[in-house]
Amino acid sequence: MLELENISLTFNKGTPDESVLFDNFNLKIEEGEFVSVIGSNGSGKTTMLNLICGSLVPDSGRIVFDGKDLTKMSEYRRAERIGRVFQDPKMGTCANLTILENMALADNKNKIFGLTRAVNSKRIEYYRTLLEECEMGLENRMNTLVGSLSGGQRQALALVIANMTDLDMLILDEHTAALDPKSSETVMHLTDKFVHKSKITSLMVTHNLRFAIEYGTRLIMMHEGKCIVDIRGDEKKNACVDDLLNIFNKISIEVGNKV
Amino acid sequence: MSALLSSIDVILQDGFMYAILAMGYYVSYTILDFPDLTVEGTVLSGGVAFGLLVRAGVNPWLALIVSFIVGFVFGSLTGFLHVKLGIRPLLCGILVSTALISVNLVITIVGMGGTFAGDGALSTIDLGRGVPTLLRTFPANLLPTDVGGFNLQRLVTFFAIAVAFKLLLDAYLKTKSGLLLRATGSNAQYVTMLAKDQRVCKILGLAIGNGYAAVSGALIVQSRGNVNQGMGVGMVVIGLASLIIGLSLFGKIRFMKPTTAVILGAVIYQGCLGIATLLGVPSAYNKIIMAVLFTLALVGSSAMKKGAEKNA
């Protein structure tokens, strides 16, 4: 279970640009939940993910995960148990390494990176089966540099890689936003498959209202650093895009989001 | 004819010697994308360590390893300044190499048993005639010295050392630690997501780069027979130019390892300088020739990149 307790965060403190993003923000995510988070730009969605992953530190408040206080823990230490897929497909993989090398690194996560051979040829078959699930033919391009793959392929690979380790939580940071409609559909479908299979607690930020409704077990809408909608179960099942859109229109007339 | 032969001899030998420096830059500049100016100091540090130890009768092969360690330590200092204190790469290199000017001088003076009374007293280390250098020690001493105008002993020894350091680097880059280093240069966030501290990886990369630079310095001392406090000057250009010439000419060849390309680049760079000397250009022009060659290498490599993009 993940708990954000009384989180406060102000950007550009003490300058004319000072803006309070979170003021006593609270959120509880139960184990096994798949939470979709929507909200307009600047509502605090990505900042919340950054706080959970440790790329940002709150001014006050605590982040507790399975009873352990993460607030002061560095980003890379948190990554032992928390996986993340970014909006930018370039972030989740190394362009200068081959698919095989990227996977070999991920395969060794939470183990020692010593002076033994990095790529174990006995594992290649296993990597191949993982890649086959993407249905993109990546399994036949293991020695291709990741930099030459398309955005959708890279994002699918990033997703596979994030799921190679036994994690407690998966963070999806608008991970379909930079992809074309077809690829984003594929990647979303793949995400759902992975999350279902591993029952991993997941938090997905998205601008795609349909994805937010169709996928996941709980839906949160954020606005100015607060959760203004928080639905789950039947209530979520019965929600439709128009309902959410109405709320969006109510809270801000200028929403520059793609629907 | 003998002038030509002896210049080929010098070109090859200097090429292998600086190839190790260029391979160090392959790690810090190509892999980590860190323009490291520390080498101006660490090349000399490696030379000082090697010179003093060899003079004191320590086995020169051991002295070569010690010089690597010395460079490794100072390189990690640059890394530390960058990742822990947040200082920009160029400034880190300037800071450490500036500090090393004093460090190298003090160690030299103390090591040579001199005093600080007369400034510059005993600031050079002469290896002398009877000292057991690399060439006078097993196994290099088994090789014949003079074969058809070539100093085969020195040439083969330097070649073997360059190849040994190339193979070591190739092997290292295939290990888990080495692959993580490559990942750090490619996408530091990826390393963070692997639950590894990318800052440590950067320090390690700079340490290796400067370890190689220091070994190169040791070979310079071996080749010249003495340590001169000015010998670090110009090393950034020699190292980077060799690297960039090598990678832009041979980097696209599939079966060739980048480290091999870098060795060839270093030899070609020395070849250009050697040809200038052969043509009778006074050595006073050496540095400007170096700068021009470096510029050509940079322009050439970016032109080649553009060409590749057009073809793609």
Confidence band (pLDDT; 50, 70, 90) for B121?
A: low
Q: What pairs with residue A5 in β-bridges?
A: A62
Are B186 and A94 in contact (CB < 8 Å)? yes
List pLDDT tens digits, range A7-64. Answer: 999 998 888 888 888 999 999 999 999 999 998 888 889 899 999 999 999 999 999 9
Do the Cβ atoms of B212 and B24 come closer than 8 Å?
A: yes
Q: Residue A140 gets which letter from DSSP? A: G
Q: Residue A11 gets which letter from DSSP? A: E
Q: How far is A18 from chain B (nearest CA, A)?
A: 25
B180 touches chain A (CB under 8 A): yes
CA distance B268 to B258: 15
Mean pLDDT of A132-147: 91
pLDDT at B118: 63
CB pairs under 8 A between A and B: 81
pLDDT at B114: 75
B190 touches chain A (CB under 8 A): yes
Q: How many CA atoms lie within 13 A of B64 on its CB side?
A: 22
CA distance A196 to A209: 20
Do the Cβ atoms of A248 and A239 come closer than 8 Å?
A: no
Q: Which amino acid is at B229?
A: Q
Q: How many CB atoms lie within 10 A of CB A102?
A: 29
**Tokens describing residue B12:** 């090859």
Mean pLDDT of B185-209: 95
Name every chain B residue with its beta carbon within 8 A of the beta carbon of A83.
193
Q: How many CB atoms lie within 10 A of CB A70?
A: 21
List pLDDT tens digits, range B15-39. Answer: 999 999 999 999 999 999 999 999 9
What's the whole-number average pLDDT of chain B? Answer: 89
What's the whole-number average pLDDT of chain A? Answer: 89
Q: Which amino acid is at B12?
A: L
Are A105 and B178 in contact (CB < 8 Å)? no
B191 touches chain A (CB under 8 A): yes
Do the Cβ atoms of B128 and B51 come closer than 8 Å?
A: no
CA nearest B243: which of B220, B209, B266, B275? B266
pLDDT of A4 strictly over 50: yes
pLDDT at B312: 40
CA distance B101 to A149: 47
Mean pLDDT of A211-232: 89
**Tokens describing residue B91:** 């400034």
- Report ipTM (2 d.p.): 0.89
pLDDT of B222 strictly over 70: yes
Nearby residues of A128 by Cβ (< 8 Å), 6 or more positions away: A139, A142
Question: Which chain A residue has its CA at the smallest distance from B31's CA?
Answer: A96
Question: Which chain B residue has its CA at the smallest distance from A77's CA?
Answer: B195
Mean pLDDT of B100-113: 89
pLDDT at B90: 94
Q: How far is A223 from chain B (nearest CA, A)?
A: 28
Name every chain B residue with its beta carbon within 8 A of the beta carbon of A80.
195
Domain boundaries, chain A: 2-251
pLDDT of A255 strictly over 50: no
CATH fold for the domain made of A2-251:
Rossmann fold (3.40.50)
pLDDT of A105 strictly over 60: yes
Are A76 and B192 in contact (CB < 8 Å)? yes
Mean pLDDT of A72-83: 93
Name every chain B residue with its beta carbon within 8 A of the beta carbon of A76.
191-192, 195-198
CA distance A156 to A175: 10
A196-223: b (≥16 Cβ within 10 Å) or e: eeeebbbbbbbbbbebbbebbbbbbbbb
Confidence band (pLDDT; 50, 70, 90) for A119?
A: very high
Confidence band (pLDDT; 50, 70, 90) for B1?
A: low
**Tokens describing residue B71:** 């460079």
Q: What H or E segment, with its residue span, contains residue A205?
A: strand A201-205
Q: How many CA atoms lie within 13 A of B130 on its CB side?
A: 2
A79 → closest Cβ in B185, B186, B192: B192
pLDDT at B308: 52
CA distance B78 to B87: 9
Question: Which chain A residue has its CA at the smallest distance from B199's CA?
Answer: A76
Do the Cβ atoms of A201 and A111 come closer than 8 Å?
A: no
**Tokens describing residue A245:** 């859109």
B195 → closest Cβ in A104, A110, A162: A110
SS3 content of chain B, % helix, strand, coil (to 5): 75, 5, 25
**Tokens describing residue A162:** 């994030």
The more confident residue out of B120 and A177 is A177
* Mutation site for A-interface testing, chosen from B83, B176, B202 by largest number of A Cβ within 10 Å: B176
pLDDT of B311 strictly over 60: no
Share of chain A above pLDDT 90, in %: 63
CA distance B53 to B60: 8
B177 → closest Cβ in A91, A97, A113: A113
pLDDT at B307: 54
Q: Which of A200-214, B135-149, B224-238 has the lowest mean pLDDT?
A: B135-149
